[in-house]
Amino acid sequence: MNRPLADEIRPRTLDEVVGQTHLLAPGAVLRRIIESGTNANMVFYGPSGTGKTTVANLIAQRTNRTLYRLNATTASLQDIKGIIADVGTLMAPGGVLLYLDEIQYFNKKQQQSLLEFMENGKITLIASTTENPYFYIYSALLSRSTVFEFKQVPPEEVERAVLRGLEIEGHRLGLEINWEKEVPLQIATACGGDVRKAINAVELLCQSAIPENGKLKLTSEDALQVAQRSAMRYDKDGDAHYDILSALQKSIRGSDPDAAVHYLARLLEAGDLLSPCRRLLVIAAEDIGLAYPQAIVITKACVDAAVQLGLPEARLPLAEAAVLLATAPKSNSAHNAIIAAMEDVAHGKTGEIPRQLQNVHADTTGFDNRQNYKYPHNYPNHWVEQQYLPDAIRGARYYEYADNKTEQAARRYWEEIKGKR
């Protein structure tokens, strides 16, 4: 049975690794560490298919330590104890190099079981994760390790691997392979920076092509079918999900409607309807706010329509909301006001509610029936001066008028009225 092409094409030297030049280029820190043979505990963080396992294998080749591999999705505490039991024996006389894939799936106790042996140098740990290690990895383990971030591989780098994969697959099939000019870059672009996905697409494309006169012809249309949707990196509980939502909000806050609809499209293409609905409502209140108070009303109508329509039609009202919010004037004055007020409350800056603001039933206690509340609607311009904040924070300022037309109009209105004594 043939090995998977992605396994057969795996680089055997650092120079064959595509991408990650910030880590592996001549003179880069990680490359110097690997070439020196230093036994350092490391955490490789980044998307799948970017070379984490490959680099770990290359490190293993340069050490005289026994290599153990565990995947945290299936490994148990007993597996760790079994590895530790081999330390110092004939099974691992020079110590253990442990490659632990998907470490984020290990609980705190499982991670802690490695600490003593990492401390005394009997275990050198290389852990990989697709999630932010500072959220998922025990701090004591992180303090003994160096984190290296692997990034999505750019299409021009992935194309090198695709061309190499096409060459190897031709040898394996014993056929000459021809392809339309745009096919390699098309596959490289569609994989979303995941080299493994690109190589799997190459293998599937070649195996599905029909030989003619001892040759295979790969077409752009077939490549598109094989690679479709493969560029999507999305996990509702993973970093990619929150990265896209963050990019959506920051694009709208930055008044870029093109970027806004791009990130909205990525969410909808992944079949996620509720997340963008909730985030657009947040944006309307947090980033547009009082500069255009109708924005949240319109956004709510668009969200309601989207939920009622469902996908794919939901894309239309949500796109309308995203473009509206991106092109609307911006104000975070209400956001800043509530944050400041909640900080005071959280720190105990409250005080007793002024007597005149207390509920009217307080007058029935018999201690004091003179509430002295002034009803603003009984006064000119529906306003009268009286104290509203507790004595403890009297004079506190949480809200500041922002410099947009709507809030400046409100400021002028109230300055005129409150200026009349």
pLDDT at 17 over 70: yes
Give residues with Cβ within 8 angstroms of 396, minimum separation 6.
344, 349, 389
Instruction: Quote the pLDDT of residue 108.
Output: 87
Q: Looking up tokens 């000459």, which residue turns up? A: 176
pLDDT at 262 over 80: yes
Return the CATH number of the domain spanning residue range 239-327.
1.20.272.10
pLDDT at 370 over 70: no
Highest mean pLDDT: which range of 33-37, 151-155, 175-179, 291-295:
291-295
pLDDT at 336 over 90: yes
- Both tokens assigned to 117: 């042996």
Domain 338-418 has CATH 1.10.3710.10: yes
Confidence grade of residue 78 (pLDDT, cut at 50, 70, 90) = confident
- Determine the Cα–Cα distance for residues 274 and 276; give it in Å rounded to an integer: 6
Span 198-223, average pLDDT:
86
The residue ranking higher by pLDDT, 362 or 271, is 271
On the 0-12 / 13-18 / 19+ scale of CB atoms within 10 A, 64 is: exposed
Share of the chain above pLDDT 70, in %: 92
pLDDT at 60 over 90: no
Instruction: Quote the pLDDT of residue 126.
Output: 93
The residue ranking higher by pLDDT, 270 or 344, is 344
Give residues with Cβ within 8 angstroms of 10, minimum separation 6.
54, 57
Return the CATH number of the domain spanning residue range 155-227.
1.10.8.60
Tell me if 155-227 shares its fold with 239-327.
Answer: no
Instruction: Quote the pLDDT of residue 357.
Output: 85
Q: Looking up tokens 């690794």, which residue turns up? A: 17
Give DSSP secondary structure letters for 175-215: SEEEE-TTHHHHHHHHTTT-HHHHHHHHHHHHHHSPPBTTE
Give residues with Cβ within 8 angstroms of 195, minimum separation 6.
18, 19, 49, 50, 51, 153, 158, 161
b vs e for 190-210, b when ≥16 Cβ sit within 10 Å of the residue's Cβ?
bbbbbbbbbbbbbbebbeebe
Highest mean pLDDT: which range of 33-37, 143-147, 209-213, 356-360:
143-147
Taking each helix axis from N to C terminus, what angle separates 294-309 and 315-327, rounded to the nearest 10 degrees?
160
Domain 20-149 has CATH 3.40.50.2300: no
3-state DSSP call for residue 12?
A: coil
Q: Looking up tokens 């049975």, which residue turns up? A: 1
- Determine the Cα–Cα distance for residues 53 and 130; give it in Å rounded to an integer: 12
Instruction: Quote the pLDDT of residue 421.
Output: 43
b vs e for 132-167, b when ≥16 Cβ sit within 10 Å of the residue's Cβ?
ebeebbbeebbeebeebebbbbebebbbbbbbbbbe
Confidence grade of residue 21 (pLDDT, cut at 50, 70, 90) = very high
The pLDDT tens digits for 321-333 are 999 999 999 999 9
Contact 196, 49 (CB under 8 A): yes
The pLDDT tens digits for 223-244 are 888 776 555 555 555 667 888 9
- CA 48-54-57 angle, to 5 degrees, is 135
Instruction: Quote the pLDDT of residue 117.
Output: 82
- Give strand ranges (E) for 214-349: 215-218
Domain ranges, ordered by start, for the chain: 20-149, 155-227, 239-327, 338-418
Regarding pTM above 0.85, the answer is no
**Which contacts qualify for 314-317: CB closer than 8 Å, 24 or more apart?**
314/268, 314/273, 315/264, 315/265, 315/268
Element of type H or E holding 267 = helix 257-269
Instruction: Quote the pLDDT of residue 229.
Output: 52
Arithmetic mean of pLDDT over the chain: 87
